[in-house]
Amino acid sequence: MTARRLGELALETTDGDAEVVVRWLGRSVARDADVVIARHLDEIIGGAGARAVVFDFTSLEYMNSSTLVPIAKHVRRAHTEARRLVVRFRADVSWQATPFRMLTKIARGEHVVFEPVPGAPV
Amino acid sequence: MTEPWPSILEALPTATCVARVTGEFVALSSAFARLVGRERDELLGSSYWDLSPDGDRQRELNALVSGGGRAYEKEFITASGARVAAVAVGGAVGDDELFITVHERVVAGTSTEAALRRHNELLLDLAKREEIDDGDLDTALRVLTEAATSGIGCDRASVWLYDEGRTLIRCVDLHEVSSASHAAGVELARADFPGYFDALAESRQIVADDAHRHPATREFSAPYLTPLGIGAMLDAPIRFHGRTVGVLCHEHVGPARAWTQDEQSLAASLADLVARAMEARDRRRAEDALERANLELEARVEQRTSELQAARDALWGEMQLARRIQTVLVPPRPLLPGFELAAFTRPAAEVGGDFYDVIEAGHLNWVVIGDVSGHGLPAGLVMMMCQTAIRAVLAANPHVSPAELLTATNRVLRHNVAALGEDRYVTISVLRFSPDGRITHAGMHTDILVHRADAHEVEVFPTDGVFLGLDDDIAPHLPQSDLSLRRDDVMLLFTDGISEARARNGAMLDVTAIADSLRQSADHGARAVVVGLQQMLNDVEVHDDVTAVAVRCVA
């Protein structure tokens, strides 16, 4: 497991045989989150190769709207490039449910899967 | 008194003379002329004091006038510039004449008290000379070679320095008494004079009483010593920073000469002064280099400051432009018939992407609130594109639905944002106010809060849809919803800069806190709602643009 600290946000990566799980922890509140986070997501996804990547937001305390920019970019890219991406989020937290349901509309398909988790502990 | 002296003295076998107090010779013996190495007739037309070193004259005069009959030490300067040490005795004769006879010539190679004193005075004088320490080596060397010829009593004194490879020594200053000149530039190669260079390498003085025979200097005999008439050499190594860097050379023109211990000591001291002058030169160079570096640094700082000022001005111009964009987009006096409307927008330190607009089109009124992701000029440009596109669409088709308005706006944005090479999204709500009181909205943004006056409760209307700029065609994902306001109900639209503001304990305000603020102020009208929100924000940390629009139904 490796962890990347980006201010108040941490990206904890666990490498498995079939998938790479990226747990989003802490708070993502940087105004330039798109710049700060994008490079790390590029590295993680590049290192995953053919394995599925799981973005797990269920333990994230908060993210601002700027954080959605790099996430949306990678969701769309996975959709376009037919790479397997799982987005796991909390359905009972509005700041997660609202944007991820929106992303569901533009990228849900065979390869990109959204997994709302009701009542997951923060 | 004068008349008998010439005939008497001429015959004397001792070195004797009579001179006036002013120095003019009255008579002298041939032995005296031989002692000082000059012709007798030549001396008779000159001054006795010209034969004495400067510092000795007054002392000798005192000895003759007040201490007559007592022997004293003195030096005579010979025709070749050499010093001859002697013990003399004499006294005053009459009112203005002096009788001097040389009792004993001091054995060559030994020092006299007078010579020692004179050398000390010379060194003391040199120690005070500013030329030695002011860093101008050429001038310092001229002073030192002149002091060397005077102090040692020789015709030539010169300073020679090694080249970098120590394969030759180059004369950097030569003082010649007989020609009263300074010269430089002659080089002596190790290959031609290996014995001399080897002796120099041992860093000891070369005391060549007979330069033609001395092992260290005899190589110079045919090519150098003989043509110049040099008979003796006294060379003192110049030590600088722990190594020998050259030599101070004293050359006696004439026959061989026995260098006294005192002369050797003086030569060493003078060589040390050459090193001191070199030290001063290096210090001066370092100071000059430092000064040049400081000047260059100052110039560079000045240039950099100028560049930074230019960059700042350019950046400031960009920031001003971005702020102007934001300012221009804010409607100056928004009016919404049938409603009381109050709004505020406050950009963060940098230009952000919040905007709102109130538009009348075809008897329909619209309220728009949005937030472009990111900040700075690009966000400002996208914001302007968005507002322009919305107004253009409404101008062309005033009866368009909110979803259709956003779909058309998205198409324009997608094209232009892609052209900018930017990843920008716009969270936006557009609300159409129909004459029947219905408010139809579309777009994905923060929740819409409505304070119901009769129930004194806040109703939350989530928004739905997708961000603008996320996909080419968003029409399938843009549902519309309706709400309506009754008299005194207050609707509050806001951007996430408010909901993401943090209290001192780090907790974000979230919708609940905003709804509480609305509940407390709604009864006092739209303006009070906006003021209440601003007061709430004064007590929290705001990191983003904040925008709020409050609409109170008054119809």
pLDDT tens profile B439-449: 999 999 999 99
Q: Are residues B199 and B163 in the same domain?
A: yes
> Contact at 8 Å (CB) between B216 and B205?
no
Residues of A in contact with B474 (CB under 8 A): 106
B463: closest CA of chain A, how far (Å): 8
User: How far is B86 from B25, CA to CA, in rounded Å?
Assistant: 19
The yes-or-no verdict on residue B98 having pLDDT over 90 is no
B354 assigned to some structural domain: yes
**What's the distance, Cα to Cα, between the start and end of chain A in Å?**
20
User: How would DSSP label each residue in B490-504?
Assistant: EEEEE-HHHHT-B-T
Closest A-chain CA to B476: A105
Of A29, A69, A106, the CB nearest to B466: A106
CATH number at residue B19: 3.30.450.20
Listed by number, the residues of chain A in 101-120 with a beta carbon closer than 8 Å to a beta carbon of chain B are 102, 105-106
Tokens representing B539 are 């007590």
pLDDT of residue B1: 47
CB spacing of A72 vs B467 below 8 angstroms: yes
pLDDT of residue B350: 60
Q: Are residues B171 and B46 in the same domain?
A: no
pLDDT digits (tens, 9 = 90+) for B1-30: 455 677 777 777 888 898 888 889 888 888
CB spacing of A31 vs B423 below 8 angstroms: no
Place of tokens 């990547």: A53
Tokens representing A6 are 């980006």
B322 assigned to some structural domain: no
Residues of B in contact with A105 (CB under 8 A): 466, 476-477
Of A66, A102, A105, the CB nearest to B374: A66
Give the strand order in the sheet containing B16-20.
B25-28, B16-20, B97-105, B83-93, B72-77
B434: closest CA of chain A, how far (Å): 27
Q: Are residues B518 and B380 in the same domain?
A: yes
pLDDT of residue B354: 87
CB spacing of B466 vs A105 below 8 angstroms: yes
Helices (H), B129-235: 130-133, 137-148, 194-201, 226-228
Closest B-chain CA to A73: B423
Q: Are residues B388 and B473 in the same domain?
A: yes
Kindly list the structural domains of chain A, giving each domain's residue range(s) and its CATH number in brackets, ordered by start: 2-117 (3.30.750.24)
Q: With an 8 Å Cβ cutoff, is B462 touching chain A? A: yes
pLDDT of residue B55: 67
Q: What is the average pLDDT score of chain B?
A: 87
> Contact at 8 Å (CB) between B84 and B102?
no
Listed by number, the residues of chain A in 29-58 with a beta carbon closer than 8 Å to a beta carbon of chain B are 29, 31-32, 34
Q: With an 8 Å Cβ cutoff, is A80 touching chain B? A: no
B131 assigned to some structural domain: yes
A4: closest CA of chain B, how far (Å): 22
What angle do the packed helices A33-48 and A68-81 form, to 10 degrees?
30
Rounded average pLDDT over B267-274: 94
pLDDT of residue B349: 58
Contacts of B128 (CB under 8 A, 6+ apart): none
The yes-or-no verdict on residue B317 having pLDDT over 80 is no
The two beta strands, A52-56 and A85-90, are: parallel
Q: Are residues B274 and B362 in the same domain?
A: no
pLDDT digits (tens, 9 = 90+) for B182-228: 999 999 999 999 999 999 888 689 999 999 999 999 999 999 999 99
CB atoms within 10 A of CB B47: 14
B124-128, B380-384, B526-530, B542-546: which is most confident? B526-530
CB spacing of B543 vs A29 below 8 angstroms: yes
Tell me if residue B485 falls in helix, strand or coil.
coil
B294 assigned to some structural domain: no
CATH number at residue B224: 3.30.450.40
What phi, psi does B139 have (nearest 5°)? -65, -45
The yes-or-no verdict on residue B68 having pLDDT over 70 is no
A17: closest CA of chain B, how far (Å): 32
Residues of A in contact with B471 (CB under 8 A): 76, 106
Give the strand order in the sheet containing B438-442.
B354-361, B364-372, B426-433, B438-442, B480-484
Tokens representing B155 are 């015709």
Tokens representing B391 are 């107004």
Structural domain count of chain B: 3
Q: With an 8 Å Cβ cutoff, is B421 touching chain A? A: no
User: How far is B4 from B26, CA to CA, in rounded Å?
Assistant: 10
pLDDT of residue B496: 87
Tell me if residue B457 falls in helix, strand or coil.
strand
B302 assigned to some structural domain: no
B500: closest CA of chain A, how far (Å): 7
Rounded average pLDDT over A105-122: 78
Q: Which residue, of B80, B106, B132, is where some domain finishes?
A: B106
The yes-or-no verdict on residue B110 having pLDDT over 60 is no
B391: closest CA of chain A, how far (Å): 25
The yes-or-no verdict on residue A80 having pLDDT over 70 is yes
User: How far is B262 from B370, CA to CA, in rounded Å?
Assistant: 100
Residue among B218, B200, B198 nearest B208 (CA) = B218
B471: closest CA of chain A, how far (Å): 7
- Find the helix or strand (DSSP H, E) in which B6 lies: helix B5-11
Residue among B445, B105, B124, B141 nearest B280 (CA) = B141
Closest A-chain CA to B467: A102
A79: closest CA of chain B, how far (Å): 12
Tokens representing B376 are 């700075």
Q: Label residue A84 by pLDDT band (50, 70, 90).
A: very high
CB spacing of B423 vs A29 below 8 angstroms: no
B293 assigned to some structural domain: no
**Taking CB atoms and an 8 Å cut-off, how many pairs form between chains A and B?**
59
B321 assigned to some structural domain: no
Q: Are residues B497 and B539 in the same domain?
A: yes
Rounded average pLDDT over B154-175: 94
CB spacing of A73 vs B423 below 8 angstroms: yes
Closest B-chain CA to A80: B471
User: How far is B534 from B501, CA to CA, in rounded Å?
Assistant: 12
CATH number at residue B522: 3.60.40.10
CB spacing of A102 vs B462 below 8 angstroms: no
Contacts of B308 (CB under 8 A, 6+ apart): none
What is the b/e burial string over A50-59, where b = at least 16 CB atoms within 10 angstroms of the residue's CB? ebbbbbbbbb
pLDDT digits (tens, 9 = 90+) for B362-406: 889 999 999 988 777 777 788 888 988 999 999 999 999 999 999
Q: Are residues B342 and B262 in the same domain?
A: no
User: How would DSSP label each residue in B286-340?
Assistant: HHHHHHHHHHHHHHHHHHHHHHHHHHHHHHHHHHHHHHHHHHHHS-SS--BTTEE
Q: Label residue B66 by pLDDT band (50, 70, 90).
A: confident
Give CA torsion, residues B289, B295, B300, B306, to 10 deg.
180
Q: Which of A78-82, B314-318, B523-527 has the lowest mean pLDDT?
A: B314-318
pLDDT digits (tens, 9 = 90+) for A17-64: 999 999 999 988 887 777 789 889 999 998 998 899 999 999 998 888
Q: Which of A64-73, A83-92, B139-148, B519-528 has the lowest mean pLDDT?
A: A64-73
Q: Which of A47-51, B86-90, B114-118, B293-297 has the lowest mean pLDDT?
A: B114-118
Tokens representing B105 are 């010539």
For residue B48, the 8-state DSSP code is G
Place of tokens 């109900």: B489
Q: Are residues B119 and B99 in the same domain?
A: no
- Find the helix or strand (DSSP H, E) in which A71 lies: helix A68-81
Q: Label residue B88 by pLDDT band (50, 70, 90).
A: confident
pLDDT of residue B140: 95
The two beta strands, B490-494 and B546-553, are: antiparallel
Q: Please give the share of chain B, as a percent, with pLDDT higher than 70.
A: 94
Q: Are residues B547 and B520 in the same domain?
A: yes
pLDDT of residue B100: 82
CB atoms within 10 A of CB B541: 12
CB atoms within 10 A of CB A116: 17
Tell me if residue B423 falls in helix, strand or coil.
coil
A36: closest CA of chain B, how far (Å): 12
CB spacing of A106 vs B500 below 8 angstroms: no
Provide, for chain A, the percentages of residues in helix, strand and coil under a 3-state DSSP scheme, each rounded to the nearest 5.
40, 35, 25
pLDDT of residue A122: 41
Rounded average pLDDT over B525-530: 96
Q: Are residues B68 and B129 in the same domain?
A: no
pLDDT digits (tens, 9 = 90+) for B482-522: 999 999 999 999 998 898 888 877 777 788 899 999 999 99
> Contact at 8 Å (CB) between B83 and B44?
no
Q: Which residue, of B106, B125, B143, is where some domain finishes?
A: B106
Of A62, A65, A105, the CB nearest to B427: A65
Q: What is the average pLDDT score of chain A?
A: 87
Residues of A in contact with B466 (CB under 8 A): 102, 105-106
Q: Are residues B124 and B175 in the same domain?
A: yes
Q: Are residues B71 and B127 in the same domain?
A: no
CB spacing of A65 vs B444 below 8 angstroms: no
Tell me if residue B431 falls in helix, strand or coil.
strand
Give the range of the structural domain holding residue B186, as residue numbers without chain letter: 115-285
From residue B246, give the alpha-carbon distance in Å to each of B162, B272, B286, B353, B398. Answer: 5, 11, 22, 76, 99
CB spacing of B462 vs A94 below 8 angstroms: yes
Please tell me the pTM assigned to this model: 0.55
Q: Which residue, of B72, B106, B140, is where some domain finishes?
A: B106
User: How far is B455 from B467, CA to CA, in rounded Å?
Assistant: 33
3-state secondary structure B104-125: EECCCCCCCHHHHHHHHHHHHH
B407 assigned to some structural domain: yes
CB spacing of A29 vs B471 below 8 angstroms: no
